[in-house]
């Protein structure tokens, strides 16, 4: 998984909105990405909303859109 998608999942996880599959994907990514692990800790602590985080990492807008579509398409 790419870090930007992991960040989206993290934000949803903070809000308790992840599906079981997403939770598995996220923890799999966190187990191999210390940077995101730290980021997730931070997210849980501060509960910064997704948009602010995405702006801060300066993801290309079309990438952000496709990530959001990807995650919102999952019930």
- Catalog residues that contact Zn ion under the rule CB under 5 A: 3, 6, 33, 36
Task: Give me the least distance between CB of 75 and Zn ion, in Å please.
Answer: 25
What does the alpha-carbon distance between residue 9 and residue 18 come to, in Å, rounded to a whole number?
7
Nearest CB to Zn ion, comparing residues 36 and 59: 36
Nearest CB to Zn ion, comparing residues 17 and 38: 38
Nearest CB to Zn ion, comparing residues 55 and 75: 55
What does the alpha-carbon distance between residue 75 and residue 44 come to, in Å, rounded to a whole number?
23
H/E/C letters for each residue in 10-24? HHHHHCCCCCHHHHH
């Amino acid at each position: 998984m790419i870090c930007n998608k992991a960040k989206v999942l993290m934000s949803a996880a903070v809000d308790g909105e992840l599906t079981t599959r997403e939770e598995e994907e996220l923890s799999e990514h966190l187990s191999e990405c210390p940077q995101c692990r730290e980021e997730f800790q931070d997210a849980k602590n501060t509960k910064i909303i997704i948009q602010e985080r995405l702006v801060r990492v300066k993801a290309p807008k079309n990438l952000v859109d496709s990530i959001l579509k990807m995650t919102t398409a999952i019930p």
